[in-house]
Amino acid sequence: MTWTKEEFCQGRKIFGGKIEVGRWKRRTNREIHGLFKETNLIGIVIAQRVRWIGDIMRMEDYRKPKMVLIHEVGGRKRLRRPRQRWKKEVEDDIRKLNIGNWKKKSEI
């Protein structure tokens, strides 16, 4: 049972560090694996993201999460590499799962 580097990084983000003797200590890979018994951590994170975007799309149009998701932010673009946006990551996940027309399906 091996995890990819991406799965370990995701586990670190979810479980974070721990306090030992008044200071923060980074959790080891073994500790993270012990806390989370599932082997496919990335699959679980993807499923939760897809579920959450469906919940947002079913919200009323005046709700803040839906407004943030639907509307584009104006302003100047950064000169550096663009950040990965949550919406784009979810759309990539949906594309990988071969879910066509996800906006229509979320209204069900």
Nearest to 105 by CA among 64, 69, 54: 54
Q: How high is the mean pLDDT of the chain?
A: 73
The pLDDT tens digits of the residues spanning 17-42 come to: 665 666 677 777 677 777 766 666 67
The reply to whether 61 falls in a domain is yes
Q: What are phi and psi of 36, to 5 degrees?
A: -120, 105
Say if residue 101 is in the same domain as residue 66.
yes
The tens digit of pLDDT for each residue in 49-67 reads: 888 888 888 889 899 888 8
For residues 67 and 14, membership in a common domain is answered with no
What's 79's DSSP letter? S
Q: Smallest Cα–Cα separation from 28: which of 37, 38, 18?
A: 18
pTM: 0.48
Q: Across the chain, which distance is largest between two alpha carbons, in Å?
A: 52
76 lies in the same domain as 101: yes
pLDDT at 2 over 60: no
Q: How far is it, in rounded angstroms, from Cα 44 to Cα 13?
A: 14
Structural domain that includes position 11:
5-35
d(CA 108, CA 69): 19
The helix-helix angle for 41-57 and 5-15 (nearest 10°) equals 60
Tally of domains within the chain: 2
